[in-house]
Structure 1
Amino acid sequence: MAEIKSAVKRWEEMDNDVLVKVFKELNMIELAPVSRVCRSWRLACSDPWLWNVLDLGHLKSNFIPTRASPYIWVDDRSDRTLTKLLRIAMALSRGNITSLIFHFNLYMKDDHLSYIAERCPHLKRLVLPAWNRITKTGICQAIHRWQELESLTMPSIAHPPYIMEEIGRSCKNFSSLKVMGTFDVQFASTIASHLPKLKILSVRCSILTKEALLFILDCMDHLEVLNISHCLLLENLTPLGRKHIIRELDQTILGKVSRLREFYHCMSQSCTTCQRMTTDEGLMRWYRYEDWFWRQDEVSSLSLGQDYGKLFDEGCLNLGFRN
């Protein structure tokens, strides 16, 4: 019996590599209590292999839409919970996070973003589809710290020059952009001016003007990959701004996209995603659909995992109630 007991290891005596492989199967919410079990478990929970990607895409804020800027109200409990989770993640990750993913209905503040920016100095990819509560100063200061940033998923904004200018100035390796919302000629010209070496652009499920599309194809010489799948493609018919929905790409567009390495488009009436875009009049109501739906992209480097719905069979974890 003594020999048998001596051959059995206690949990805290397990090999670190084994613990890391086990903990890799846990999400950040589950890692938090595990890291407090003992010193060896906390050391394993801080292994860089666990923290290359911090995916908080299953967290939502408890929010209510409003008519006044910032057009969203978030309760204090959501903010406190998010702050707590970020503190745990930043403490365990020890600056090793290179990819950071947030849900499109998680509305952080400047304080949250600044806290992350200070503790993720090597961030290369940011998925932040909502920033109603983040100010111009807040986002620019964060981007200034992320000089290694290569990829950004963002919402459309009314006045995009400042954010693109900061990326162009601070992030010399930036090459990939995804815009979720409306993409007009102002947005296109801003990208061309400040991110002339952009290689990958996705505006899937957005309102896209033909003028903006042609501008990108004419001016972005370094562009290699373009995704306009499921877009509501509009064309001005009159000087007064009356617009027409384009149902099929013409030869002018097809001729210009032929130089690209990859080009994705879908305008099929039988496509479920295109049908949803039509129903939502071009402004996709992501909250109406499967919670993994917003994470998809035809461009593999921009997709956040097609089996995401299987990972969270019980639905999203809210920082309050589900709206």
Structure 2
Amino acid sequence: MVGACGTRKKASTTTNKRMNQEDLAESRQMSFNRWLDLPSGIFEQIFFKLDLIEMLFFIPLVCKSWGYIILKAIFDKEDTNCLDLSALEDEHFYSYFFYVGDQDSKAMKLMSLLVRLMHAFASDGPNDVNNCAIRTTPITKLLFPPGLFLNDRHLIYLAERCPKLKFLYLPCAQHITGKGMSRAMRCWRGIETMCYAPLVNIPPHLHLPRIVEEIGKNCKNLGYINLGWLDLNWQTAEVLVQNLKSIRKLSLERGCISKYGLQIFLSRCKKNISIMFISCSFRYSQGINYPSTIRVMGIPEGRRIRWWTDLYPHRSEELHTSKGLVSLFWERQE
């Protein structure tokens, strides 16, 4: 009897403890929601009278809901689960994040901001009531400004907390390595659209095969990719064809295109794909004036792919073999 009573008492205590924890979590969520139910304009009027750098870093530490209100007003103005860090190009933030300090200092400043953003946008309540190590956000779009010092640690931190990402605009990837991209892409398997740049100078080129391989291996839903400052030679052409098999649209922006590299890419490509050359230079093509934007489209013809281009408007009705299209690009010189 005593043992049975003790067991019931212990079970009752455990149940009450669980109920108290659930009540506490619900109370916290209600408190969080009450702040969010208030007109955000009132808070913005108050907070934006403060020093903007101090507001950016200290308000989110005071209260999660306050941090959400103020950071959302700056980085998600359209209320679309889009985290737009191009707001850092604003004159109030630019010198702090882009000019002041060395690389380590810039990296620490950016990480401090990202921690506050992820905390404010986290899907749970104001506190980590479930004691989870990583709390995810509903963010589906990430946009970065060019020139921002972004490294592997930043990218992986965001990737782990934004698993629903569909759109990535990353024009500041010069410090991202193949290893960092590999870990990020494992979290972003559902990504559909990506802009990645610059692929220029020696370090990014050493990582290019690994980066493209990880994108192709993990991102099976990727339909469009924009690659900036890419040197399209025979090696990079092979890497793109072998790994980016899901894409239907490819943009090469401000890249350097070699004749052999383009021929390799077109001849190995066995699907209908739309390619855009934006402000690219074509190697050994001195004296040829190219339009700022050139479109190329692969069109199935039986088991083969024929190629259409708007390079010469008076020949826009023609379809070409891969070799014929490449010759068309360089024909004025020849």
When the two structures are superposed, what TM-score results if normalisation uses the length of structure 2?
0.56
Structure 1: how far apart are the matches of 2:311 and 2:37?
47
Instruction: Give the 3-state SS of the residue equivalent to 1:228 in structure 2.
Output: strand
Q: 1:45 to 1:148 in 2, by over 3 A?
A: farther
Q: 1:193 to 1:246 in 2, by over 3 A?
A: farther
Name the structure, 1 or 2, with higher relative contact order (CA <8 Å, separation 6+): 1
> Identity across aligned pairs (percent)?
26
Q: What are the superposed Cα offsets for residues 71-115 of structure 1, whole Å, 9 maximum, x if unpaired?
A: xx9433312210111011111222111111222211222222221
Structure ranking higher in helix proportion = 2
Alignment-derived partner of residue 54 in structure 1: 83
Structure 2: how far apart are the matches of 1:130 and 1:168?
20
8 A contact 1:197–1:221 mirrored in 2: no
8 A contact 2:84–2:144 mirrored in 1: yes
Offset, 1:142: 1.2
Structure 1, unpaired ranges of 5+? 1-11, 65-72, 235-242, 267-323
In the alignment, does 2:280 pair up with 1:245? no
Q: 1:199 to 1:177 in 2, by over 3 A?
A: same
8 A contact 1:227–1:264 mirrored in 2: no
Please, what is the CA RMSD of the aligned residues? Answer: 4.2
**Matched pairs, number:** 233
8 A contact 1:232–1:245 mirrored in 2: no
Alignment-derived partner of residue 161 in structure 2: 119
Q: What are the superposed Cα offsets for residues 179-223 of structure 1, whole Å, 9 maximum, x if unpaired?
A: 111331322221110112211111122212233333333333445
8 A contact 1:125–1:149 mirrored in 2: yes
8 A contact 2:228–2:252 mirrored in 1: yes
In the alignment, does 2:218 pair up with 1:164? no
The amino acid of 2:85's aligned partner reads: L
Alignment-derived partner of residue 141 in structure 1: 183
In the alignment, does 2:245 pair up with 1:196? yes
Query: For 1:1-323, what aligned pairs fall within 5 Å after superposition?
Result: 16=37, 19=40, 41=66, 50=79, 52-57=81-86, 58-59=88-89, 62=98, 74-94=102-122, 95-154=137-196, 155-156=198-199, 157-159=204-206, 160-185=208-233, 186-234=235-283, 243-245=284-286, 247=288, 257=297, 259=299
Structure 2: how far apart are the matches of 1:180 and 1:128?
10
The amino acid of 2:260's aligned partner reads: E
Q: 1:123 to 1:233 in 2, by over 3 A?
A: same
Structure 1: how far apart are the matches of 2:173 and 2:68?
34
Structure 2: how far apart are the matches of 1:140 and 1:96?
22
Structure 2, unpaired ranges of 5+? 1-32, 123-136, 300-305, 313-334
Offset, 1:264: 7.3
Structure 1: how far apart are the matches of 2:209 and 2:191?
18
